[in-house]
Amino acid sequence: MNKTAFDACIGIVGAGAIVASSHLPAYRAAGFRVGAIFDADPERARQAAAQFSIPRVCATFEELLAAPEINIIDIAVPPDFQPAMARAAMQAGKHLLCQKPLAWTMDEARALVEESERAGVKLAVNQQMRWDPIIQATHRLVREGALGRVMNVSLDESVLTDWFQWTWIPPAPQLDLMLHSIHNIDSLRYLFGEPDWVFAATGKYPEQRERAETRSITVFSFPGDILAHMSVAHKNWSDDQLCEWRVEGTEGIIRGRFGHLDDYPHGGPDRMEFVRRGEKSWTTIETPGRWFPDAFRGPMGSLIEAIRTGGAAETNGRDNLRTLALVHACYRSAEERRAIMSPSRI
């Protein structure tokens, strides 16, 4: 595709902790231009603008949309507010980077994607785990055939997550799968395609104050006889926190540890090793950068490139509908206590 002249200028809605610790540091490191910011708390917006040299603090969301230099809106607000803001941005002719989940329901998410297509604007979703160093290294090794035929995949996470950092999460009707493990599910899709079926179980902890599930175990069957296991728990009170990754193939095995929850939201480095069939020692695989904040440049960079070329962003709206549909399939499986065929056609 031929590239068109496009001078990307980002306007950010929301100046919360994740924007200050991840969005803005990643954009600055990548050389992306942020032209304006708005937050319902003006002081928080002013602090972010001062820290990251953002030239304009907007008093209202409407002022941000009216700024002629802004052509991409990064919406960093809870999902209850995102659809209305996304629609307003589309009407203003702005391209969009939305947060996950795109919407609570499939109908709402699908409507947003279709409306963006009718409006002629690009919509991407900030599923930045695809750019985590371990996921990128795994993608490369699988593509190169270094593992031979992939057979087994496991992601085991047992951590202590303070969901009360975000006032809107504890009363939310869905938690782990929709607001956290959606990243894991999206990355599994990115690496291995659309699963054939999924089986999930969810649960709570005694006396937890969160409304919805804070632990889940999910099994996916992918084409090629790949079985993937995902176990996530958010109430590990011990000092033995873990977030481990393993991919076993007929000719090689990957093992690693994600560092994104070390000193959250700042994160630490990933660690990853690889061994070939017949070898006795493991080789360290370089995993430069971190999920937080470095991977956050991925979705925005992909969106900017898609606008320039007329192509599709890596985490474009249509693709993200498949991730969201798979999350809903997990919930349905847990509710009905049976395997659910994957919703592969969206």
Residue-level pLDDT at 57? 98
| SS3 category, 322 | helix
Residue-level pLDDT at 30? 98
Residue-level pLDDT at 263? 72
The pair of structure tokens assigned to 240 is 């033995």
Distance in angstroms (rounded) separating the CA atoms of residues 34 and 13? 11
Residue-level pLDDT at 281? 97
Identify which of 270, 276, 265 has the alpha carbon closest to the alpha carbon of residue 131: 270
What is the DSSP annotation of 59-122? Answer: SSHHHHHH-TT--EEEE-S-TTTHHHHHHHHHHTT-EEEEPSSS-SSHHHHHHHHHHHHHHT--
Domains 10-126+302-313 and 129-294+326-341 share a fold: no
Residue-level pLDDT at 77? 97
Query: Is 293 within 8 Å of 21 (Cβ atoms)?
Result: yes
Structural class in CATH, domain 129-294+326-341: alpha beta
Residue-level pLDDT at 266? 73
Reported as a single tens digit per residue, the pLDDT across 332-344 is: 999 999 999 988 7
221 Cα distance to chain centroid: 21
Reported as a single tens digit per residue, the pLDDT across 99-119 is: 999 999 999 999 999 999 999
Query: Is 184 within 8 Å of 230 (Cβ atoms)?
Result: yes
For 10-126+302-313, CATH number? 3.40.50.720
The alpha carbons of the chain give a radius of gyration, in whole angstroms, of 20
| SS3 category, 219 | strand
Give the start-to-end residue ranges of the domains of the chain: 10-126+302-313, 129-294+326-341
State the residue for tokens 């847990």.
334
- Fill in the DSSP letter of residue 281: S
What is the number of helices (H) and of strands (E) in the chain?
10, 14
Q: Residue 33, exposed/middle/buried by CB under 10 A (0-12, 13-18, 19+)?
A: middle
Residue-level pLDDT at 199? 98
Residue-level pLDDT at 345? 57
The pair of structure tokens assigned to 112 is 């947003």
The pair of structure tokens assigned to 91 is 């009407």
- pLDDT per residue, tens digit, the chain (346 aa), is 456 778 999 999 999 999 999 999 999 999 999 999 999 999 999 999 999 999 999 999 999 999 999 999 999 999 999 999 999 999 999 999 999 999 999 999 999 999 999 999 999 999 999 999 999 999 999 999 999 999 999 999 999 999 999 999 999 999 999 999 999 999 999 999 999 999 999 999 999 999 999 999 999 999 999 999 999 999 999 999 999 999 999 999 999 999 987 777 677 899 999 999 999 999 999 999 999 999 999 999 999 999 999 999 999 999 999 999 999 999 999 999 999 998 875 5
Identify which of 158, 102, 120 has the alpha carbon closest to the alpha carbon of residue 319: 102
